Homo-oligomer: A and B are copies of this chain.
Amino acid sequence: MKKICIFIGSRANYSSIKAVMRAIQKHPELELQVVAGASAVLDRYGSVINLIEQDGFSVVARVHMLIEGETPTTMAKSTGLGLIELPTIFESIKPDIVLTVGDRFETMATTLAAAYMNIPIAHTMGGEVSGTIDESIRHAITKFAHIHFPASRDAYERIVKLGEPEPSVHLVGCPRMDLVAEMLSVSRSEVDESIFRLGVGDRVDIDKPFVLVSQHPVTTEYGTGREQITATLQAVKNIGLPAIVLWPNADAGSDDIAKGIRIWREKGLDTDMHFFKNLPISTYVQLMKRTKCLVGNSSSGIREGAFIGTPVVNIGTRQAGRERGSNVIDTGNDADEIASAIQKQLSHGPYGFEPIYGDGTAGEKIADILSRTVVQLQKRITY
C-alpha cells in the first residue's frame, strides 16, 4: 500500500481536495493519511476537522500552528511553526507521497518539510496565475513538487514552461468541480430559509433576486482591506438588492476586512444584509447557482463560476491572470465602477457551462496516477 499524506489547513483546502481523498480511500493500492492543521483544527473557523471526520475520513494527526495576529509577521512565523511540527509527524507516519493543495502558507510549510525529508511531493492547483503572495508560493511549490496536477490547460502549459518534465505534469481538472457537479445534482429545495439561523443580520429571501459578496484580503496590499470592503458594500447598497456577505479567510489582513464589516454594521448600514462566518460548501454552491451576481475577489467566481454559469463581478488584483470564462466582469476597487458592473450582470442573467477547470472527474484521475507513478526524488530543471 502506497501511503498518501494530505494536509488540510482550511475549509477551502478541504473542499479543494475532498474528491481526491474519497478516490484515494476507495483505491485498493493506496492508503490515505489525513493531517489536519492551521485553521482546520480551530473552533473559530468552524472546526473543519469535525467535518472531515463526519465525512468518514480519519485524521492521523493534528497540528496547532497558527500564531494569533493575522499580520504578515505572524503568517511567516506560523509557517515556521508548521515547519517545526510537521517533520515530527512525517517521521511518525512515514508517508510515501505528500500531496499538497494550492498556494496557502501552510502549503509552503508542508512542502518544505517533505522536501527536506526526501518525501516525494504531489501538488494540485499549480501553474495558475493570481495576485498576492500566493503567486510566488504557488510557483515555488511547483519547483519542489515531483508530480503536478494542474486544473486547467493554461496552468499545465505554465508548469512545463517552469522547467518541469512533461511526464510529471497531468492535466486532470480541479477536484472541487467533482463536488460542485454532485452538489448541483441535488434538488434546489435543499437550501432554504433555515440557513439564516446562523450568521447575523437581516434575513434575505433567496427565492428573490439577491447579491452574494465574498471578499478576501490582498496580502501585498496589506492595510487597505477596510477601504476595499467598504467600497464593495457601498456598491451593493447602491444597487438596492439584498445581499449575503461572507466573512474573509484567515490571512494577513483579514482583521482589516473584518473591521470594515463591523464598522459598516455599527453604522447601521447593514439593512437587507446577512453575514456568514462559514457556510457549508454545498449551500455556497446553491447560492452561486441562485444569485443574480457574485461580487468580490473569491476564486470561486472564476472557477466554480465557469462551471455553474454564475454572473461574477471580480474586484481588484487578487485574481489577476487567472484563466476565466465569459461569466466574469473585472473592475477596480471603486464603488461606482463595481456598482455599474453589477448592473451589467443583472441585465445579462445566468451564463452557460464552461469546463475550463475540469469536468468533475479529477479525483479519480489523481488517485489513479498516484498509484502508478514511480518518483525520481532528485529533481532537475529541464533546461
Give the distance in Å from the alpha carbon of A361 to the alpha carbon of B111 in the complex: 37
Nearest chain-B residue to A259 (Cβ)?
B43
CA–CA, A79 and B117, complex, Å: 12
Stretch binding the partner chain, chosen from A87-95, A188-196, A238-246, A337-345? A87-95
B163 touches A161 (CB 8 A): yes
Return chain B residues, CB-CB under 8 Å to A80: 79-85, 109
In the bound assembly, the distance between CA atoms of A162 and B127 in angstroms comes to 12
**Stretch of A11-19, A138-146, A304-312 on the interface side:** A138-146
- The answer, among B88, B115, B255, for a CB contact under 8 Å with A133, is B115
* Interface status of A297 (Cβ within 8 A of chain B): no
Docked-complex contact B67 and A73, CB < 8 angstroms: no
Cα-based distance from A79 to B84 in the complex (angstroms): 8
A91–B89 Cα gap in the complex (Å)?
A: 12
Name the interface residues of A103-141: CB closer than 8 Å to any CB of B: 105, 108-109, 112-113, 115-118, 129, 131-133, 135-137, 139-141
Interface residues on chain A, number (Cβ under 8 Å): 74
Check if A68 is an interface residue, CB within 8 A of chain B. Answer: yes
The oligomer's copy count stands at 4
Residues 319 to 358 of chain A near chain B (Cβ within 8 Å): 320-321
When chains A and B are docked, how far (Å) is the Cα of A89 from the Cα of B76? 12
Q: Which of B39, B83, B92, B162 contacts A92 (CB 8 A)?
A: B92
A41 located at the interface, meaning its Cβ lies under 8 Å from any Cβ of chain B in the complex: yes
A97 interface hit (Cβ, 8 Å): no
CB-defined contacts of A77 to chain B, threshold 8 Å: 64, 83-84, 87
Question: What separation, in Å, do the CA atoms of A251 and B232 have in the docked complex?
Answer: 37
Establish whether residues A81 and B79, one from each chain, have CB atoms under 8 Å apart when the complex forms. no
Determine how close the nearest CB of chain B comes to the CB of A226; give it in whole angstroms.
12
Q: Which of A207-215, A279-287, A374-382 contacts B (4 or more CB under 8 A)?
A: A374-382
Contact of A112 (CB < 8 Å), options: B64, B108, B143: B108
Chain B nearest CB from A249 CB (Å) reads 14
A219 within 8 A of B: yes
Residue A371 CB within 8 A of the other chain: no
Residues of B within 8 A of A89 (CB): 88
Residues of B with C-beta under 8 A to A84: 77, 80-81, 84-85
Q: Is A293 an interface residue (CB 8 A)?
A: no
User: CB < 8 Å: which of B65, B87, B136, B158 contacts A144?
Assistant: B136
Q: Which residues of B contact A71 (CB under 8 A)?
A: 64
Rounded to whole angstroms, the CA-CA distance of A131 and B377 in the bound complex is 11
The distance in angstroms between the C-alpha atoms of A76 and B39, with both chains bound, is 19
Chain B proximity mask over A196-238: 1 for CB below 8 Å, otherwise 0: 0000000000000000000000011010000000000000000
Q: B116, A133: Cβ atoms under 8 Å? A: yes
Q: Does A252 contact B (CB under 8 A)?
A: yes
Residues of chain A touching chain B, judged by Cβ–Cβ distance below 8 Å, are 39, 41-44, 61, 64-69, 71-77, 79-89, 91-92, 105, 108-109, 112-113, 115-118, 129, 131-133, 135-137, 139-144, 157-158, 161-163, 219-220, 222, 252, 255, 259, 317, 320-321, 377-381, 383
Can you add 8 more A-B contacts, CB < 8 Å, to A66-B67, A76-B87, A135-B379? A39-B68, A42-B68, A72-B118, A77-B87, A92-B92, A115-B133, A129-B381, A135-B381
